[in-house]
Structures are given as structure tokens and as C-alpha cells.
Amino acid sequence: MQHYDVLVVGGVAAGTKAAAKAKRENPGLRVSIITDDRNISYAGCGLPYYIGGIIGEQKELLVKTPDALKSEFDIDVYTRHHATAINPQERTVTVVDLETGREQLFSYEQLVLATGASPVVPPLPGIKLGNIFTVRKVEDAVLIRQTAESRSPQNAVVVGGGFIGLEVAENLKQQGINVTVVEAAPHILPNFDRDVALHLENYLQENEISIHTREKVTAFEGTTAVTHVQTSERRLPADLVILSIGVRPNVALAQTAGIALGPTGAIQVNECQETSVSHIYAVGDCAETRHRVTNEPAWIPMGSTANKTGRTAAINITNASQDSFPGVLGTTVIKLFDFAAGKTGLSEREARQKGYDYETVLVPANDKAHYYPGYRNIITKLIANRTSRKILGVQIFGEGVVDKPIDIFATAISLGATVDDVAKLDLAYAPPFSMAMSSSIVAANVMRNKLDGKLKGISPLALAERLQDPSLVVLDLRTEPEFMIGSLPGAINIPAGELTARSQEIPRNKTVIAVCKVGKRAYLMQPLLRQLGIQDITVLDGGIAGYPLPLV
Amino acid sequence: MQHYDVLVVGGVAAGTKAAAKAKRENPGLRVSIITDDRNISYAGCGLPYYIGGIIGEQKELLVKTPDALKSEFDIDVYTRHHATAINPQERTVTVVDLETGREQLFSYEQLVLATGASPVVPPLPGIKLGNIFTVRKVEDAVLIRQTAESRSPQNAVVVGGGFIGLEVAENLKQQGINVTVVEAAPHILPNFDRDVALHLENYLQENEISIHTREKVTAFEGTTAVTHVQTSERRLPADLVILSIGVRPNVALAQTAGIALGPTGAIQVNECQETSVSHIYAVGDCAETRHRVTNEPAWIPMGSTANKTGRTAAINITNASQDSFPGVLGTTVIKLFDFAAGKTGLSEREARQKGYDYETVLVPANDKAHYYPGYRNIITKLIANRTSRKILGVQIFGEGVVDKPIDIFATAISLGATVDDVAKLDLAYAPPFSMAMSSSIVAANVMRNKLDGKLKGISPLALAERLQDPSLVVLDLRTEPEFMIGSLPGAINIPAGELTARSQEIPRNKTVIAVCKVGKRAYLMQPLLRQLGIQDITVLDGGIAGYPLPLV
């Protein structure tokens, strides 16, 4: 029977990190990794880019080989070995060699479960047809790329409009394949708010990726390989299907040891990454964590979190002192063509569901000085607690730099910042990098204006629902040339500069929804409108730039 | 006598912001701006890019014209009017019309001083010669560009290697002019640490900008226009000279009112931007502020701070509620060709001078996933308080993205973060944007290793001073091909993989300085070295990548 001081089951990000860090902390320990896979330590997040050929060689995806782990760190790696059961009393794990079928026992002082997550494969008719792929392992990406290159598929259907699905959609489209994304939820990026996701949907459709939301796949058709995808709405030709409807934590092994799962279905752990069973830790995608805003259990599998939880477990295993992992914000970012979208903390929908008394703003801005060539627009949606003024969450999107402000807010939220704190940050300013008042600070100031009662706003989708309401009148304050791109149905266009002269055109005894390009001019015109006798003013948050529905 | 509720002296960033925000907060107020200048609200930080033609038109530098301030905000702007004296008892300001010479009195309820700062012009022989320029106002940039375009200068000397000087140097070089930078301090970017600044010096010299440090300009020579610059070391041909040796706050007007200056020489203000004299506020570059790390008075003039202090003063003037400005971190960032360097918080030199018990790390990393095309290297120098583990300051430089991690750290420092807090941030990760463990988190973890005693390091310049020390031996653990680019004088090269076989080549009873490409391999090899009987191991911080002096 093999005995190890630290036995790790699973060898992608979290498992490899836990093993390597344990060995660094205490080189005298015997450390081993057991994995079903042929590879260890591969870059799961890079798979879409390998499919698209942006990453040329398969070996670039492999961060460390088993041989390197042995020679550099003296870690024994058992690939193609499947752990079937844990006996926590004996501290043993039953392991089957997938090549030979031979079963053996490994004993451990400390066991680290890094069993990861597996893609959900729905039991739909035709699911076993050829050319239907999930995207989780290096082999998956290799097969998809081979299929794309050798069979010259014309039509690909991506089932699921989350991150992986959209990244693969972009990469297939870049190779000249017609791509259709089918998403059962009301919008793509289901973790984002609809008003944000709709902007991305518009952008992807402009880039000729078809998007069908609120639509379920019901069957796959074909003889040996898939030829069509049947949805609740239509029948789509498809000689390549990417299934990316989500992942589930791999907890079967943990359950053999009686390890408790959390409410999310992933393995429950404390801040030290310890499970409910002594001498057993869980790290990475198979483990539950906490949301740092709600302090509730959360399961948001990410490679970055996997690295951190692996490190925390290793320190706790090997040291008298304890390390703790405080949880996550669900921070994510995606690049699609020249568009990016990121999120950290709660969406508006999540804030509502959790019962927060919150306020939102939608603030277009530039990512660089407006006079510096190459600046691009981004839009920040900020959600703050109305009482504590703490930031609950942020979503940022556009063709400019979004990962920087997302990280500013991720840092701020983690440290309990209010919007007032963010407004006063001393951020790096030079024209090639930022506006003098950076987009994050501008967004925080707009939120302060709202929280302080200086600005009443309405969100784009809330307005869209009320456009038929006879008690409202939409007043578009843009100039005639700006108005040419379209406006909201029924809007009256009076350029801000002509307000005084043309004020009699504004109907009285109605709520005036003031609309401009980004929301600023409408805000600035409030005093003048009041002077002209219009008291009930609401500004369209984010102006026309933030409005994701069709203009007329 | 003109009377204003809010009278603002100075109309660039802070003054214009204070006036516009005051008017927004209370549209009933009479608000005015008085300025010596012809322009208001111009983009001072954009001037180098106008000189280089990156910003094409002068009007792009002008954020708001006086006419726009009047028509859009009902603010009276008096350009070319000079405020000569304040009578705080009468609440009046004496103002001279610079066109007519006419003197008049303005009375105020609240006075906002936004008098800015002026470039230092040393009284050197020849200083009045033609084609010697400072870079502060739009007219300066216009003259420099005209000179560069019409007189085809061959040789430019930039006196002062701070931000503006270097940005102008880059922009002149881009136009084919030979550029020499002369800096009296031991290195360019005097606010940065020398080990960081030397990397930028190397980069600029590779881009054919000559840099002479520890060298003073003693005279300018020429008949009508400058032809040569005499320094303490040499005589440089120069048909264009840029003077950028710093700025001083304009406090003469404040002194006529008996307003107290702070220890920095700028106008002392409290958190509400109030000066020592009632009804008088000071904002922007003329005002002192606090450093958020040391909590000591600081004067670090920046356009971003100007906007924030202007806003704070305006809110305090117009509202019962108070707003406060918590101070600055001296956050800065500069782009030079494809290189960027940024800083927030204290430099190592400042930390030493202020008596902190600090630790430093120097950590090379990538700005994106190593397998994502177009990733670039950056190096993070992190300075932390050894006792509290709080971050004191950060400098980041390289050809990759540096403004994002600078802003992460600026946010973290403002909110009192420790290195442990930063190591556990949930930052945005996707291959096009970051490594799975972002550079900031890696740097924080290296610092944690040092603070926890798992790693003993030596900084590049400290090692350079001790290379002759016979008690040290430098052990270069890189492979032979990596070694080809050079190593430290006297280094022994034993590739990490050959350590066991060749351990007898390592001299005993000496401190071994373990060197590798970025510092990681040397850290990882510590256990093996100890096993081979070498106990006294110190790692070269940042490895060869972080070493800014010539290799042999």
C-alpha cells in the first residue's frame, strides 16, 4: 500500500497548486497526485483559444507535465488513476488504474479533494450523436479543433450562452463557421443583468453570431453525426454542437466518505478548506465557498479561486499557523471580438433576490482621456446599498478597457468600500490610461448624487416597460444630429440649448423622463427644467448609450 | 463692485470643477471664475501629446470654453484678469484686467483659490534665450510645436527627468529630433526608487534618448536663440530646450490675505478644503493635502486630485452637509513608447526616510496568461510594513499593462489592506486579461513568504554593492541558453537540474546568492540547496529580469 503524507485527488489548477505548495512548505513530506486525466495542470480557461487557433500548440495549454512535477518537485503523479472510495477511519483511498483495471489502496495523513467539476450533459434525444462536444478537458478542445479543421463544418450551434459557450462561439466564428447560440434563460450571460447582457447580444449579432434566448434545445438530429438541432422554436442546421450549459461539482468520491455537501451541492468547507471529515480538505471547483457580499455559501468555480484555495489548504496542512480563504465575489470578465464585459459582486437581480435596499446607476464614460487617440467607451452599472452606501456589485462592458475598473471595484468591495470611498480614490491618471476623473470615480459620484437625492433616475428596461404610460413624457435633450440615430418611441426632441425658447412644447402635469446621450446633460438640465416649471423630472440612466433596446 | 456668491480664482481643472459643481448644487448662486489665462479648463496633462502631434488640434485640449461655461452653466468667466489681493475682512478681491490695466474690486460670499502651480525657472545664465520653454499652459505647447515644426530643430535638451519632461522627450523623439535628458538627481523619475528608474533609463537609451543623471545644467548659450546647454559634465548642442524641473504652488495671492501655508509651501487646508481664513477655500495644485499612508502633509499636484478637491469644496460651500477629501497616495503612471511605469503610495526611499520597518519584493510576472498571444512582462516592486503587514507602496513597470495593478494597489492601500488581503482578492481572470493568479496576487504572495520567513531576499542594488564581498557567492541557476545573455560578475552557473550532480562546485561557508530568471526558481531550489548542505541562502529579488545594471 502506497502511503503519502499529502494525497491529492485531482490535478488541474487546485490540486497541482496544493501539492506543489505543500511540498514547498515542507520538502520532507511525501506528496502525490491521483487523477483520472491523462494531463495535469492544464489551462482550462485557454481551451476556447486553442479551438480558435489563437493558441497554436496543445503543449502551450499544459502548464506542468507529470514528469516535471516529479523531477522539479518530487511529487508522484498517477495519471489515468481513478479514486473510487475513501475510508476516512483507515485514512485510505481506493484507486483503480484505468489502463490496467488494477485496484489498489493508498493511505494518507492528509487528503486533498480537488476533483473539479464536470459539464452538464442533458439526456436529450440524439445526445450521443457525433460532433457534439463539451469543453472541459484538453482532449475536448483537441477534438473540436480537429473537427473544425478536418470536416469544415458550416454551421455550429452553441448550446448555452455563458462564458465558455460565447468564447467558443467567437473562436468558431473567427474561422468562418456560422454560429448560433441557443440560451434557455431570458438573456445570454445569465449571471449578468438583462440590461447589460442585451448590449452584448446586440454586439454579437452585429458580428453575425445569431443569438436565440428563452429557447430550449429539445433534440439533436442526425444519423451518425449531428446534422440539426431542434429547439422549442425552430430547427437549426448544425454539423458541430458545443454543449456549454454549465458544470456540476464532482462530489461522488467525497460522498463515499460521508463528507457533507453544502446547500449549493458542492463540498462544504470552512475558511481553512477543511471538510466535515477530519484530515480531508477540498479545494477548487469541487468545493463550496462563501460570497463576500452576502456571506452566504456560494459555488462559483473559477481557475483563479482554484489556485487560491489550493494554496490555502497546503499552508494549513503543512503549518502550525493557519491560513484562511475569505470567499469570492464571482468576479468574471470575458472578451468577445473587441468587446469586453465584466462583473464583480452582486447583479441587480441578485441584490433584489437577497432583499437589499439598493440603488443602481448606469454610467457611460471613456477608458482614456477624450482627447487621447484610441479611447473607447465603456458603461459601468453600479449597484450600492442605499443604507450603508457600500458597493454591492458592478458590471462594466464596452469596447474599452473593462478589466481594470472591474478589479478596482473587486478590490473595493472586498475591503468593504462605500461609494464615497471609491469617489476619493487616488487612481493612476495620465491621458493614455484614464480620464482625469476615472470611469470608476465618475460612476461612484453619480451614485452619490442619487443616494443624496440630487438625481432621480430610471433604468432603461424599467422605462421600456413604461413607454406606453400616459403619465410619462420622454424629453430627448440631444441635438438634431444626435437625434438622427433614433430615439425612444414617442420622445419629444428639444435640444438642451433650446429648452428656454421651446419650453411650452413640454406637456405639463406629467413625469418628464429627460434623455440625452449618456445621462449627464439630462442631469445638468434639471435646474433649468425646474426653473421652467417642470418639477417632476427623472433622468434616463445611461442615456441613449445605455439603452439596449431598438430605437425608432 | 461685482458681487458673487462663489468667486473662484483660477480656471483650469480645480477652479472650473468647483464653479460648475457649486452651480449644480445650487443653481440660484451667482458664480464666477477669474483667471490670468486666455483659456480655462484645458487639459494640462495632454500638452506633451499635442507637442508630439498625437493630439492634432489645439481645441481638443480645451475641455470647456468661457462661452460654454456661461451659456451652459451661467458662470461668469473673466479671462486675462489677474487677482492681486484679497481683503478677507471686507471679503473682496482686487482684480486687474490684463488687457486694459483697469483695477476693480470683486466681493464674495465664498472665495475659492485655484491658483495652480507654476514651473520653476532657474536664474541661470542664458535662461532668457529663445527656444527655451516650460510646459504648463496651452500657449507653451503651441509654441513648442510651432518651433519643432517650423524650425526643424535637430537637438533638443530636456532639463528634468520627471513625468512631463520624459513625456515631452518621447514626443520630440517621435518627430525625429535627437533628445537628451539632463537630470540633477541620481536617476530619472526622482519620486521612484533607483532600481525601478534604472530600468526605464535602460529602455529610453535603447530607444535612443540620451539620459544624463547626477548632472546639473549650469548655463544656456546662444545669441538670440539657444544653441548649447552647458552642464556640470559637458556642453550639449541644443536648438530646443524644455525646462521641466518641477513646479511650485502659486501662493502669492493667498499670502495677501494672511492665509497659512503648510510645511510643503502650498496652502494649508483641512479635509473640507477650507484655508485658515474663513470663507476662503483652496483647491487643486495650489493647495496642500495629506498623504494617506503617512498621514502627513503632502503636496503632489495632479489633475485628478484637482478635480476631486474642487468638487469637495463646492459641496461644502453649497450644502449644510459636509464632504471631505481624505488625501492622496501620489499615484502616477507614465507611458513612454511601449513602456509604462506607475507608482502609488511610498517608495522604498520614502519608507526608509519615514522610519517604517518595511520589507520589499521585486516580482516579474506576465500581464496576461502566458499562453495568450501578446502577453508582456511587468515587474512589481511592493513595499510593505513588516509589523502591520499593510502595503506601504508599489511601483510597477514594463511593456505590459501596469495601470491596472497600480489601481488595484491604490484602492487596496486607501482601504488599509494588508498583503494577505491582496493575496485573496477575487480579481477578474480570463486569459486575455490576466494570469490565473494575477501579478498583484503573485507579488503579495511573495511578500507573504518573505514576511513569514520562508524567503530571504536581496534587492538588485544591494547585491550590486556587495558583489566584491568575499563572503558571498553568486549562484546562477539558469540553464546555459539563458545564461548566454550574461550574468552577474563572478557568478557560478549551475543549472537547477544539475544542482545535485554538481553541488561540490558550490563554495561552502559562504552566503549563497541564488539567482534565476525572475526569482521563482531560486526560491523553489532552497529546499534542495539545504539538502545539499547549503544553509545560508539568499535569493536575488526579481532575478536577472529585475536586475537593472549591466551583465557580464
Q: Do A308 and B60 touch (CB under 8 A)?
A: no
Query: How far is the CA of B531 from the CAs of A29, A73, B507, B539, in angstroms?
Result: 14, 13, 15, 16
CB–CB of B540/B460 below 8 Å?
A: yes
CATH number of A132-245: 3.50.50.60
CA distance A398 to A408: 17
Neighbour tally for A80: CB within 10 Å: 14
DSSP reduced 3-state for B51: helix
Nearest to B540 by CA among B443, B473, B459: B459
Q: Which helix (H) or strand (E) holds B85?
A: strand B81-87
Q: How far is B325 from chain A (nearest CA, A)?
A: 7
Q: Do A426 and B434 touch (CB under 8 A)?
A: no
Q: Does B430 touch chain A if contact means CB atoms closer than 8 Å?
A: yes
Instruction: Give residue-wise pLDDT tens across range A510-537.
Output: 999 999 999 999 999 998 899 899 999 9
**Region for residue B128 given its phi and psi (left: phi exceeds 0; alpha: psi -120 to 50; beta: otherwise):** alpha
Higher pLDDT, A332 or B27: A332
Quick one: cell of A543? 442615456
B 234-263 residues with CB < 8 A to A: none
CA B363 and chain centroid, separation = 20
CATH number of A457-546: 3.40.250.10
Q: What is the model's pLDDT at position A320?
A: 66
* DSSP string across B416-428: T-BHHHHHT----
Report the residue of chain B nearest A342, measured CA to CA.
Answer: B428
CB–CB of A184/A208 below 8 Å?
A: no
CA distance B37 to B114: 13
- Phi, psi at B11, each rounded to 5°: -135, 35
Q: Mean per-residue pLDDT for A317-323? A: 83
Instruction: Give residue-wise pLDDT tens across range A390-446.
Output: 999 999 999 999 999 999 999 999 999 999 999 999 999 999 999 999 999 999 999
Nearest to B450 by CA among B358, B547, B351: B358
Q: Among residues of chain A, what percentage have pLDDT more than 70?
A: 100
Radius of gyration of chain B (CA): 27
Q: Does A315 touch chain B if contact means CB atoms closer than 8 Å?
A: no
CA distance B170 to B177: 10
DSSP reduced 3-state for A282: strand
Q: Does B332 touch chain A if contact means CB atoms closer than 8 Å?
A: yes
Chain A residues whose CB is inside 8 A of the B307 CB are 436-437
Report the residue of chain B nearest A72, measured CA to CA.
Answer: B497
Fold match between domain B332-451 and domain B457-546: no
**Residue B338 burial (10 A CB sphere; 0-12, 13-18, 19+):** exposed
Q: How far is B2 from chain A (nearest CA, A)?
A: 24
CA distance A322 to B195: 35
How would residue A375 be classed by pLDDT, with cut points 50, 70 and 90? very high
Nearest to A172 by CA among A190, A195, A199, A152: A152
Angle at which helices B439-451 and B403-414 pack, to 10 degrees?
50
- Phi, psi at B508, each rounded to 5°: -95, 170
- The pairing of beta strand A457-458 with beta strand A472-476: unpaired
CA distance A356 to A389: 11
- Its sign, for the CA torsion B252, B254, B260, B263, is negative
Report the residue of chain A nearest B71, measured CA to CA.
Answer: A497
CB–CB of A312/A324 below 8 Å?
A: yes
Instruction: Name every residue whose Cβ is closer than 8 Å to that of residue A284 and which is 6 or more positions away in sequence.
Output: A10, A12, A13, A14, A15, A114, A116, A301, A305, A306, A309, A310
CA distance B163 to B168: 9
CA distance A117 to A458: 40
Chain B residues whose CB is inside 8 A of the A336 CB are none
Chain A residues whose CB is inside 8 A of the B442 CB are none
- Phi, psi at B347, each rounded to 5°: -80, 170
B 59-88 residues with CB < 8 A to A: 60-61, 71-73
- Its sign, for the CA torsion A482, A484, A489, A490, is positive
Q: Do A527 and B27 touch (CB under 8 A)?
A: yes
Q: How many helices (H) and strands (E) does chain A have?
A: 16, 29
CA distance A253 to A331: 28
CA distance B65 to B42: 9
Chain A residues whose CB is inside 8 A of the B429 CB are 45, 302-304, 331-333
Q: What is the model's pLDDT at position B62?
A: 85
Quick one: cell of B274? 477650507
Q: Do B423 and A54 touch (CB under 8 A)?
A: no
Chain B residues whose CB is inside 8 A of the A415 CB are 411-412, 415-417, 421
Residues in chain B: 552
Q: What is the mean pLDDT of each run of 10 residues along chain B (552 residues)?
A: 96 94 92 93 89 90 87 92 97 98 97 97 97 94 92 94 96 96 97 98 97 98 97 97 97 97 98 97 98 98 95 91 93 97 98 98 95 94 98 98 98 98 97 94 97 94 95 95 92 93 93 96 91 94 97 94
Interface test with A, best of B371, B402, B525 (most A CBs within 10 A): B371
- Phi, psi at B486, each rounded to 5°: 115, 165
Catalogue the active-site residues of A: 45
B 115-144 residues with CB < 8 A to A: none
CA distance A514 to A145: 50
Query: Model pTM?
Result: 0.97
Of B73, B406, B434, the CB nearest to A403: B434
Quick one: cell of A309? 484555495
Of B422, B431, B528, the CB nearest to A46: B431
CB–CB of A41/A16 below 8 Å?
A: yes
Please give the CATH topology (third level) of the domain spanning A332-451: FAD/NAD(P)-binding domain (3.50.50)
Instruction: Name every residue whose Cβ is closer than 8 Å to that of residue A39 and which is 6 or more positions away in sequence.
Output: A62, A79, A137, A138
Instruction: HSE, CB side, 13 Å, CA atoms: give it for residue A424.
Output: 24
DSSP reduced 3-state for A311: helix
Whether the predicted interface score ipTM is above 0.90: yes
CB–CB of A175/A53 below 8 Å?
A: yes
Q: Do B411 and A406 touch (CB under 8 A)?
A: no
Q: What is the model's pLDDT at position B320?
A: 67
Higher pLDDT, A59 or A280: A280
Angle at which helices B13-25 and B303-318 pack, to 10 degrees?
30
Of B331, B414, B430, the CB nearest to A333: B430
Q: Does B186 touch chain A if contact means CB atoms closer than 8 Å?
A: no
- Phi, psi at A392, each rounded to 5°: -95, -35
Q: Does B434 touch chain A if contact means CB atoms closer than 8 Å?
A: yes
Query: How far is the CA of B252 from the CAs of A7, A299, A456, B106, in angstroms?
Result: 72, 61, 43, 18
DSSP reduced 3-state for B312: helix
CA A113 and chain centroid, separation = 24
**Region for residue B265 given its phi and psi (left: phi exceeds 0; alpha: psi -120 to 50; beta: otherwise):** left
SS3 sequence of A29-80: CCEEEECCCCCCCECHHHHHHHHCCCCCCHHHHECCCHHHHHHHHCEEEECC
DSSP B145: H
Of A292, A407, A425, the CB nearest to B428: A407
Interface test with B, best of A16, A401, A407 (most B CBs within 10 A): A407
In chain B, domain spans: 2-117+248-318, 132-245, 332-451, 457-546
Largest CA distance in chain B: 91
DSSP A287: B
Nearest to A391 by CA among A333, A327, A440: A440
Q: CATH number for B2-117+248-318: choose from 3.30.360.10, 1.10.10.10, 3.50.50.60, 3.40.50.300.
A: 3.50.50.60
B 263-292 residues with CB < 8 A to A: 292
Q: Does A414 touch chain B if contact means CB atoms closer than 8 Å?
A: yes
Q: Mean per-residue pLDDT for A490-509? A: 93
Report the residue of chain A nearest B306, measured CA to CA.
Answer: A436
Q: Do B445 and A342 touch (CB under 8 A)?
A: no
Q: Do B423 and A454 touch (CB under 8 A)?
A: no
**Residue B224 burial (10 A CB sphere; 0-12, 13-18, 19+):** exposed
Q: Does B501 touch chain A if contact means CB atoms closer than 8 Å?
A: no
Q: What is the model's pLDDT at position B42?
A: 84
DSSP B551: P
Strands (DSSP E) contained in B184-232 are 209-212, 217-222, 226-231
**Region for residue B13 given its phi and psi (left: phi exceeds 0; alpha: psi -120 to 50; beta: otherwise):** alpha
CA distance A189 to A548: 15
B 363-382 residues with CB < 8 A to A: 369, 371-373
Locus of grid cell 450523436? A129
Quick one: cell of B172? 520630440
Q: Do B433 and A403 touch (CB under 8 A)?
A: yes
Strand partners, A82: A96
Chain A residues whose CB is inside 8 A of the B60 CB are 371
Quick one: cell of B76? 461668469
Q: Do B426 and A55 touch (CB under 8 A)?
A: no
DSSP reduced 3-state for A285: helix
DSSP reduced 3-state for B206: helix
How would residue A274 be classed by pLDDT, with cut points 50, 70 and 90? very high
Alpha helices (H) along A151-281: 163-173, 194-206, 252-256
**Residue B125 burial (10 A CB sphere; 0-12, 13-18, 19+):** exposed
Chain A residues whose CB is inside 8 A of the B406 CB are 428
